[in-house]
């Protein structure tokens, strides 16, 4: 039997109850760095964090989750019942998600993933979830490989140079550019999976923003926008692929320019952008950074005085 992984969110009382149960069942309990405790027994490893996150792993993780956590702590069943609780996850459809829109450096990457009943089941069992919940890059790339093995997918990626040109000369608005890129990614998917008449994505702006982009490609009837769309396995898989491609391309850009390129838009990232501008100039910065960010504009205005 292969190792499995399940994540739960507990309040303080539920965490205390879990610890009592683990002690009663003879688990070895030890301190956990940056967490509450780690409990182990043959076939199961449990890590409890201060945030309330409970991670259950091991060859017997499923049995423990279904036999102990669900009935004794949560009082409900969900694992293994996804097809009953969310039958829409198992219908043939695509999911779309993006990475890079909030990162000062790097490309904008949109991925579209097609699933059917069989591949949706595989993704759920493999632990596919929103990439924002995956803290390890190594784990992210492992999951991306699993997605690629079991699904059909399409990418649309804009380098910072392409992104800057489109933003400045055509869209002048991030959501309009993002909606256009979503439609492009869906078209890429249709090249390998033409029989895809439903696509789910996160509602990142007013619904008409994305709808108008899909209308332009004649696929507005296929579009389904929803909040927290990453709960859908196809969307979660798309988020993983998009992030994996983003990280690969970010690394390449850093090597090309000779500077490390941090993720996000922190003060450290802004300072690196300032150093690139001072050492290599504006055109070099355009090749790696999204120029419409206010912090970039501030750098340009400060250094031009």
CA torsion 101→110→161→298, rounded to 10°? 0
d(CA 172, CA 78): 44
134 within 8 A of 79, measured Cβ to Cβ: no
Take residue 126 and report the two structure tokens written for it. 């493999």
Q: Is 98 annotated as a binding residue?
A: yes
In our burial notation (b when 16+ CB lie closer than 10 A, e otherwise), range 18-52 reads: bbeebeeeebeeeebeeebbbbbeeebbbbbbeee
d(CA 47, CA 8): 11
Take residue 96 and report the two structure tokens written for it. 């779309």
Q: Is 165 annotated as a binding residue?
A: no
List all residues 6 or more positions away from 194 whose beta carbon is below 8 Å from its beta carbon.
Answer: none
Q: Is 125 annotated as a binding residue?
A: no
Which residues participate in the annotated binding site for a divalent metal cation? Answer: 97-98, 202
Which residues participate in the annotated binding site? Answer: 97-98, 202
């Amino acid at each position: 039997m292969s190792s499995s992984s399940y994540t739960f969110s507990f309040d303080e009382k539920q965490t205390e109850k879990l610890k009592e149960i683990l002690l009663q069942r003879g688990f070895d309990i030890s301190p956990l760095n940056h967490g509450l405790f780690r409990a182990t027994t043959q076939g199961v490893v449990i890590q409890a964090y201060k945030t309330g996150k409970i991670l259950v792993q091991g060859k017997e993780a499923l049995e423990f989750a279904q036999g102990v956590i669900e009935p004794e702590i949560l009082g409900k069943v969900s694992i293994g019942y996804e097809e009953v609780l969310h039958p829409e996850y198992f219908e043939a459809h695509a999911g779309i998600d993006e990475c890079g829109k909030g990162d000062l450096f790097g490309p904008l990457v949109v991925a579209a993933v097609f699933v059917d009943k069989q591949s949706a089941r595989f993704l759920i069992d493999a632990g596919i979830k929103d990439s924002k919940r995956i803290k390890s890059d190594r784990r992210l790339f492992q999951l991306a490989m699993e997605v690629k093995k079991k699904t059909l997918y399409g990418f649309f990626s804009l380098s910072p140079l392409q992104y800057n040109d489109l933003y400045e000369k055509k869209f002048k608005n991030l959501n309009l550019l993002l909606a256009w890129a979503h439609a492009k990614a869906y078209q890429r998917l249709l090249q390998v999976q033409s029989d895809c008449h439903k696509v789910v994505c996160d509602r990142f702006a007013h619904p008409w923003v994305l709808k108008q982009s899909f209308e332009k490609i004649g696929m507005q009837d296929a579009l389904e926008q929803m909040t927290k769309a990453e709960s859908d396995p196809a969307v979660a898989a798309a988020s993983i692929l998009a992030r994996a491609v983003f990280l690969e391309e970010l690394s390449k850009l850093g090597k090309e320019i000779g500077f490390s390129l941090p993720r996000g838009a922190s003060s450290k990232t802004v300072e690196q952008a300032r150093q690139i501008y001072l050492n290599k100039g504006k055109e070099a910065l355009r090749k790696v950074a999204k120029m419409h960010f206010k912090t970039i504009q501030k750098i340009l205005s400060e250094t031009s005085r």
